Amino acid sequence: WSKTLARTGCRNVCSSPSRLQSMSAWVIDQYGSSGVLRHTEEIPIPTVNFAHDVMINVSAASLNPLDLNMRGGYGATLLNLRRDPLSLVNSFSEFPLILGRDLSGVVVDCGSGVTHFAPGDEVWAAIPPWKQGSLAEYVTLTEYEVSYKPESLSHIEAASIPYVANTALSALVNAGGLCRENSFNKRVLITGASGGVGTFSIQLLKAWGAHVTVTCSQNAEGLVRGLGADEVVDYTAGDVAEKLDMMERFDVILDNVGEDMEEWAMRLLKPWSGAKYVTLVSPLLLNTDSMGLLDGSLHAGLTLHNKAFQNITSSGVFYRWAFYAPDGPTLDEVSRLVDAGKILPVVEAQFPFSQVPQAFQKLEQGHARGKTVVEVA
Ligand code: NDP
C-alpha cells in the first residue's frame, strides 16, 4: 500500500507530525569542546517544504570523527558556503547546529514529487555535513539521499553503516576505480582498518573478491580477520613500512590514517599499472578554515596537483583525495549486501539519547573498533 500512496503523491494523504511545533535534539550554539553540547526540546521540526523532501522520524544515529571535528568548527568556512551560498543570512546562521551524520528511522511525511518512499517505510541515510544532523527526533532530506534500511538489521545496527558506506564507496569506486566487476584478486591495502570506514571497506572488498591487507593495532586483529582481512599488519609493533615493503605490491591503497604515510607508501603500489593511492585525510577543509575560501581552495588544489603530478611522473601511480558523497541509490546496493549476509554492522558502543555527551567522550578517546551508535527513539 505504501507504494500506491507514493505513486499518487503522499503529501496530502499521510499522517504527519505537523501538529507538533518543536522537537527534541542535541545542538551546539558555538564551536568548542564537550561543554558546547546542549539538549533542547525547542528545535523547530524540519517539515517537508519541497516536492522531493522526505521527513524521517529518527530511531538511531551514529557518530563519526567528523562530528567531533565539526563540534570544534572544522570545515565551517566551506560548509557555511554550501548552507548559504549567497551569504543572505547573517554569520553564525548555522547555530543551533545539530550534529550526527547517520540515521536509521521511519518516514513520516513526503513531498508531492516523492515516488520511492511513503510514510511507514523504514529507511537509512547518510546526511551531508552541510545539513542539520541526526541527533534529533526528525530529519528532512531529499529522496535521493535516502534508501530502504536492510530488513535484517535493527535500527541501531543500521545506523552504524550509511556514512562510512557512502565514504568508502566514494573512495574505492570513484577515486580507486574499483567495483564489483573488476575487484576480483585485486590487492588492496587498507590502513586504519579497525575503525568505521575500515571495517566496512574490508567487508565490501571481500564481497567483491579482492585480496585485502590491513594495518591496525594488535588487539584489533581478531576483529579485522573476522570481517575477512587476508593479511594483517600490526602497526604498533616494529616498522610498519618495512613489513609492508616485504609484501607483493598493491593495486589500491585506501589510507584512513594520513600522518606520514604518504611519504613512504607510494612505493608499495604496483608501478606503471594504473595503481592508486586514495587518502580520506586531506587538508582541504583545514586550508579553507585557516586561509579563507579562495586562498585555502587554491592552496589545497596546488598541493593535490603537485603530489599527483610527482607520483604519476616518477612511478606511474595515481594520487587521489576522496570525500564522503551523499548517495541514496548506492545505499540500496549496500542494503542488498547486508541482507545477503555479506556485510555485518560493527557496533562497538551504544548510548541512549540522554547520553550523547558520553557518546562523544567515547569517540574522543579514539581507538575505535567499528562504530558508536545513539538510540534516539
Ligand atoms: P575511526 O576513528 O572510526 O577509525 C580510525 C581507526 O584507525 C581506529 O580504529 C584506530 O585505532 C586506527 N588507527 C589509528 N592510527 C593508526 C595507524 N597509524 N595505523 C593503523 N591504524 C590506526 O575513523 P573512520 O574510520 O570513521 O575514518 C577514518 C579517517 O577518514 C578519519 O581520519 C576520518 O576523519 C576520515 N574521513 C574522511 C572523510 C572524507 O570525506 N574525507 C569521510 C569519513 C572519514 P587504534 O588507534 O587503536 O589503532
Per-residue pLDDT tens digits for 232-252: 999 999 999 999 999 999 999
Q: For position 97, what pLDDT does the model report?
A: 98
Average pLDDT over residues 124-152: 98
Residue 363 CA, closest ligand 1 atom number: 2
CA of 165 to the centre of ligand 1 (A): 14
pLDDT tens column, 35-68: 999 999 999 999 999 999 999 999 999 999 999 9
Residue 3 has pLDDT above 90, yes or no: no
Q: For position 19, what pLDDT does the model report?
A: 55
DSSP-assigned states of every residue in 303-316: HHHHHHHHHHHHHS
Nearest CA to ligand 1 atom 7: 192
Q: What's CA 310's distance to the chain center, in Å? A: 29
Nearest CA to ligand 1 atom 29: 256
Q: For position 92, what pLDDT does the model report?
A: 60
pLDDT tens column, 297-347: 999 999 999 999 999 999 999 999 999 999 999 999 999 999 999 999 999
> Contact 314/131 with Cβ under 8 angstroms?
no
CA of 24 to the centre of ligand 1 (A): 30
Mean pLDDT of the chain: 93
ipTM: 0.99
When pLDDT is cut at 50, 70 and 90, the band that residue 5 belongs to is very low
DSSP-assigned states of every residue in 72-92: TTTTHHHHHHHH-TT--SPTT
What separation in angstroms does the CA of 91 have from each of 17, 84, 291? 31, 10, 17
> Contact 40/24 with Cβ under 8 angstroms?
yes
Residue 258 CA, closest ligand 1 atom number: 32
Q: For position 8, what pLDDT does the model report?
A: 34
Percent of the chain with pLDDT over 90: 90
Nearest CA to ligand 1 atom 44: 280
Ligand 1 pocket, CB under 6 A: 64-65, 164, 167, 191-192, 194-198, 215-217, 235, 256-257, 280-281, 323-324, 366-368
Nearest CA to ligand 1 atom 20: 192
Residue 11 has pLDDT above 60, yes or no: no
CA of 364 to the centre of ligand 1 (A): 12
Q: For position 4, what pLDDT does the model report?
A: 29
pLDDT tens column, 194-216: 999 999 999 999 999 999 999 99
| Residue 232, strand partner residues | 214
The span from the CA of 25 to the CA of 31, in Å, is 17
The span from the CA of 31 to the CA of 55, in Å, is 27
Residue 91 has pLDDT above 90, yes or no: no
pLDDT tens column, 153-198: 999 999 999 999 999 999 999 999 999 999 999 999 999 999 999 9
Q: What's CA 129's distance to the chain center, in Å? A: 10
Q: For position 84, what pLDDT does the model report?
A: 86
Residue 10 has pLDDT above 70, yes or no: no
> Contact 115/52 with Cβ under 8 angstroms?
no
Q: For position 90, what pLDDT does the model report?
A: 61
Best substitution site from 71, 74, 197 to test ligand 1's pocket, by max atoms within 8 Å of Cβ? 197
Q: Which residues of 228-245 are buried (b: 16+ CB within 10 A; e: fewer)?
A: bbbbbbebeeeebbeebe
CA of 324 to the centre of ligand 1 (A): 14
Nearest CA to ligand 1 atom 13: 192
Nearest CA to ligand 1 atom 45: 367
CA of 262 to the centre of ligand 1 (A): 15
Residue 369 CA, closest ligand 1 atom number: 9
Residue 194 CA, closest ligand 1 atom number: 9
CA of 124 to the centre of ligand 1 (A): 23
Average pLDDT over residues 140-156: 98
Best substitution site from 190, 240, 280, 372 to test ligand 1's pocket, by max atoms within 8 Å of Cβ? 280
When pLDDT is cut at 50, 70 and 90, the band that residue 220 belongs to is very high
Best substitution site from 200, 203, 257, 288 to test ligand 1's pocket, by max atoms within 8 Å of Cβ? 257
When pLDDT is cut at 50, 70 and 90, the band that residue 2 belongs to is very low
